[in-house]
Amino acid sequence: MQLRVLVVDDETSARERLIQLLRKDPQVAEALEASSGISAVDLVQAERPDIVFLDVQMPLLDGFGVIQALGVKDMPHTVFVTAYERYAVRAFEADAADYLLKPFSDERFVQAMTRVKARVRNRESVRLGPNVSNAASTYVRANGLWDRLVVRSGGITRIVAAHEIDWIEAADVYVNVHVQGKEYLYRAPLRELGARLDPLRFVRIHRSTIVNIEKIKQLEPISHGEYEVVMIDEARLQLSRRFRKDLEMRLGQSL
């Protein structure tokens, strides 16, 4: 049995330790790594690993967010990794293949691998149980992410679905939300609103601009690592060097 294993952790040292341990295992044909929840989603979809060692606490998109984005049924056999004992509760023992509580010994890692290999070998179809499933399904509510905005314009209150938003720009202490050629003032600072939107869909490209990556039409180089981002509504926005890596991470490739 040859296995492909993905390690997901935002801490470089934690990833490297797991990768080193995995490379000692003759049944591990390939050890992949992701430094963020966002890149983990892309890798799982593209590479379809057999096993994932999934850090619970990560910025932007945590372990439960990864499960929410992919769907419980499409998750590989999962070993949770956490530095906090409260996350390694009994539900994990019942629902995941296993969990590793940082710092863990080599022996504890071997135990986790033995357990998850047994699940792979037995071709168990239920990879995550109902407790983890429920935790993932409440991820958006628990983290305060919004799938719609309530905007008021001309005395009318409108409900705008988050996926319909093209881009958002800072407007003094508030923001202008651009939706299908229309513009709405939203009474919240850009940073606050950005923290409420799905990091798999929205990315900051400038200190004053957030875009829906699905609404990007093309990127045109300007100079010195800066690009002009052309949106489907024909708006032309600046991608600053400071935020270029954020966009590259979300796209999964370099510009």
Closest CA to 5 of 40, 38, 53: 53
Domain range summary for the chain, segments of one domain joined by +: 3-142, 148-251
Low-confidence ranges of the chain (pLDDT < 70): 86-95, 124-144
Q: Is 236 exposed, middle or buried (0-12, 13-18, 19+ CB in 10 A)?
A: exposed
Is the bond into 59 cis (omega within 30 degrees of 0)?
Answer: no
| Domain made up of 148-251: CATH architecture | Beta Barrel (2.40)
Check if 3-142 and 148-251 are the same fold.
no
Long-range contacts formed by 224-230: CB under 8 A, 24+ apart: 227/255, 229/205
Give pLDDT, residue 108. Answer: 95
Give pLDDT, residue 114. Answer: 94
Give pLDDT, residue 143. Answer: 62
Give me the helix-helix angle, 63-70 and 37-47, nearest 10°. 40
Give pLDDT, residue 127. Answer: 63
- The CA-to-CA distance between both ends of the chain, in Å, stands at 38
Give pLDDT, residue 73. Answer: 80
* E-strand stretches of 162-201: 167-171, 174-179, 182-186
- Beta-bridged to residue 183, according to DSSP, are 178
Tell how strand 209-212 and strand 236-239 pair up.
Answer: unpaired
Count of other CB atoms within 10 angstroms of residue 189: 15
pLDDT tens, 54-103?
A: 998 888 788 888 887 787 788 899 999 988 776 655 446 546 788 898 89
Report the alpha-carbon distance of residue 178 to residue 211 in Å, rounded: 10
- CATH code reported for the domain at 3-142: 3.40.50.2300
Classify 72 as helix, strand or coil: helix
Buried b (16+ CB within 10 A) or exposed e, 75-110: bbbbbbbbeeeebbeebbeebbbbbbeeebeeeebe
